[in-house]
Amino acid sequence: MAQGRGPGGPFSRGFLTDEEKANQPKVTPALLKRVFSYLKPYSRHLILVLACIALASFFTLLPSILTGKIIDEGLVKLDLRALVKYIALSLAVTLGANLIRVAESYINTWIAQHITYDMRNQMYAHLQKMSQRFFTTNNQGDIITRMTSDIDGVQQVIASTFTNILSNAITLVIAMVAMFRKNWILALIGIVVVPLFTLPTRRAGKTRWKFANESQACNDKINGMLNETLSASGQLLSKLFGKEKHEYERYEEANGRMIRLNIRESMAGRWFLMILSTFASIGPMLIYLVGGLLMIRGGADLTIGDITVLVALLGKMYMPVNSLLNIQVDWMRSMALFTRIFDYFDIPVEIENAPDAVTPARAEGNVVFDHVRFGYEKDRPVLKDVCFELKSGHSIAIVGPSGSGKSTIINLIPRLYDVDDGRVTFDGIDVRKLDLQFLRAQVGVVSQETYLFNGTIRENLLYAKPDATDAEMETALRKANIWEFVQNQPEKLDAMVGNRGLKLSGGEKQRLSIARVLLKDPTIFIFDEATSALDSISEQKIQEAIDPIIQSRTSILIAHRLSTILAADEILVVKDGQIVERGQHRDLVALGGVYSELYETQFSRALLPEEDGVSELEQYIWGQQPADEPAE
Ligand code: ATP
């Protein structure tokens, strides 16, 4: 975010330690302009709030001014009519002030809620545009805190901080004008005490700022911890490694730190209040003393009522001054909050539609990797000069050692990441020039980590095609070889899959996600075969589901099993981010290179019992199923 030097003000000089200064938001005109841009759509409501605040502040002060009349006109002159009149008037304006405050707080809450509504929607839409890189690098807890507590904080700021500043400033101005009109000497004396407030304020503000920052960081840490350890997979990990005690102690320590910080932050404010209230009692005494002297010496035109009014008005000033000085810390916190939120908004969208993006009328599914270079981090290329062509209707199997870059290759097709050099084209057009929605609609991915929502089978399927009929779902489930399983569920399509599909086995999840992709009906089918071992029945079922797809659809398979590899038209062998061999199974085995090594160490053993050896292997190579393979 563009930030220059702060415009000065109470918190820009000597307020924070060096370390704290690093986290201090720089309140620039640009920042303020940006904050106020969120208020702009509600400017008419804000004017109404402002009018309410001004009126309510005036009405709140009026009874103090009327006290003078009650004393001088009613009590001193023993005039019952005047006494009743001014008492009634005082009560009426107090009631009026309170009614106006109710209206003000309603409009205020309404504005604050609407602004947070706008901000949340904007943030969600922005985060959705973030690339996979953002979600793999950032802590999920941080992202959620930004969406929830930070934006909640903004609502607080608008509903209380901003209006408190306004209301207190207006009250102060009215009170000061009224005091000076009564007697300028006494007004000056009363006001002299006010600057003394700034002494304890600076200290308390500094301490509170420090604790607030630390407690926010601690809160983020706790959120991250909860997210990590109270998720299904986190719990599984902690249970299997017997880390419950360790995790509990880690949590308890952070939790304890949090409450200590909260107590200290709150107490820093309390000490401050104590000192302030002591100072507050000095002002009225001085007014009684000097006012009394002026009256006794007879040098000024002062009544008992006037002195009472001045003391009452001074009493009304301490609260706003106190709040305004305290608000300096709240204001800074608010600005820090806005800065944190804006920092997120300012993360550039890495992958977005080109301004001149094209949406072809139809898609064939020809994909070309043209000298592609790519790395997740700068200067650490994962793919180096990758070239291959996938023709419409054909299938490619990508094989290679773990970590060689197979998944990375397929990530580049739906533009989860953009290439650093070279290009990926779809039907002859650079994917960066294609409409993103169009491109992603053409690509269907069954990834290694199948992600299912915590809902029913039906809901998970409808995610791919919201208007799918039951018949269409049945067809997809049948093709994915999971129809029988669904039929065996008491609730059929309405059976719950559990959190992230954890109620299903690995194989069932895979097949359900194949069905989901089949419903999506993409031009290109990408299958990232799970490396984890499935039992042979599960493997067989998945194989039966994807075989026809490989035969009939344009597809790319990251393959770990020989049967999948053999079904493809071409095999690409990837090693250290480069395609080192390509061709047909038999030729690659004969080549005696990386593929034949992989074949000997992984594929042949993964599928075939050693003692059955070559003959069954030969049957596979020629595309036949072994006779004793378990049937569904
Ligand atoms: P496997 O067969 O084990 O799934 P793979 O061949 O698919 O492996 P990739 O997932 O493409 O391998 O990873 C290639 C390299 O890129 C690895 O060194 C990996 O550590 C790295 N890598 C993968 N994803 C990321 C990421 N999001 N950020 C940074 N590095 C990554």
Q: State the alpha helices, DSSP H only, in 451-535.
A: 457-462, 470-479, 483-488, 506-520
State which of 373, 408, 531 you would mutate to test the pocket of ligand 1, scoring each by most atoms of that ligand within 8 A of its C-beta: 408
Comparing C-alpha atoms, which of 396, 439, 397 is closest to residue 415? 439
383 C-alpha to ligand 1 centroid (Å): 10
Whether 27-183+302-345 and 356-442+531-538+550-632 share one fold: the answer is no
SS3 content of the chain, % helix, strand, coil (to 5): 65, 10, 25
599-610 burial: b if 16+ Cβ within 10 Å, else e: beebbbeebbee
- pLDDT band of residue 157 (cuts 50, 70, 90) is confident
Give the pLDDT mean for 131-145. Answer: 85
* 37 contacts: CB under 8 Å, gap ≥ 6: none
Instruction: Domain ranges for the chain, please list them.
Output: 27-183+302-345, 356-442+531-538+550-632, 449-521
592 C-alpha to ligand 1 centroid (Å): 26
The pLDDT of residue 616 is: 47
Phi, psi (rounded to 5 degrees) for 556: -125, 130
The span from the CA of 619 to the CA of 149, in Å, is: 62
Phi, psi (rounded to 5 degrees) for 525: -110, 125
1.20.1070.10, 3.40.50.300, 3.90.25.10, 3.40.1440.60: CATH of 356-442+531-538+550-632: 3.40.50.300
Give the residue whose CA is nearest to atom 11 of ligand 1: 405
- pLDDT band of residue 117 (cuts 50, 70, 90) is very high
Long-range CB pairs of 353-356, under 8 A, 24+ apart, other chains included: 353/435, 353/436, 354/432, 354/433, 356/433
- pLDDT band of residue 531 (cuts 50, 70, 90) is low
User: Any idea which architecture 449-521 has in CATH?
Assistant: 3-Layer(aba) Sandwich (3.40)
408 C-alpha to ligand 1 centroid (Å): 6
Which residue's structure tokens are 């103090």?
A: 64
CATH topology of domain 27-183+302-345: ABC transporter transmembrane region fold (1.20.1560)
Give the residue whose CA is nearest to atom 28 of ligand 1: 376
Comparing C-alpha atoms, which of 516, 567, 506 is closest to residue 541? 506
The two tokens of residue 546 are: 């994807």
Lining ligand 1 with CB less than 6 A are 136, 376, 382, 400, 402-408, 531
5, pLDDT greater than 60: no
615, pLDDT greater than 60: no
What atom in ligand 1 is closest to the CA of residue 377? 29
What atom in ligand 1 is closest to the CA of residue 448? 4
Q: What is the SS3 string spanning 334-374?
A: HHHHHHHHHHHHCCCCCCCCCCCCECCCCCCCCEEEEEEEE
The pLDDT of residue 625 is: 42
Give the pLDDT mean for 104-124. Answer: 92
What atom in ligand 1 is closest to the CA of residue 531? 2
State which of 379, 382, 419, 576 you would mutate to test the pocket of ligand 1, scoring each by most atoms of that ligand within 8 A of its C-beta: 382
CB 90 within 8 A of CB 62: yes
- pLDDT band of residue 621 (cuts 50, 70, 90) is very low
Give the residue whose CA is nearest to atom 29 of ligand 1: 376
The two tokens of residue 514 are: 């194949």
pLDDT digits (tens, 9 = 90+) for 409-433: 999 999 999 999 999 999 999 999 9
Strand 570-575 and strand 578-583: the pairing is antiparallel
406 C-alpha to ligand 1 centroid (Å): 8
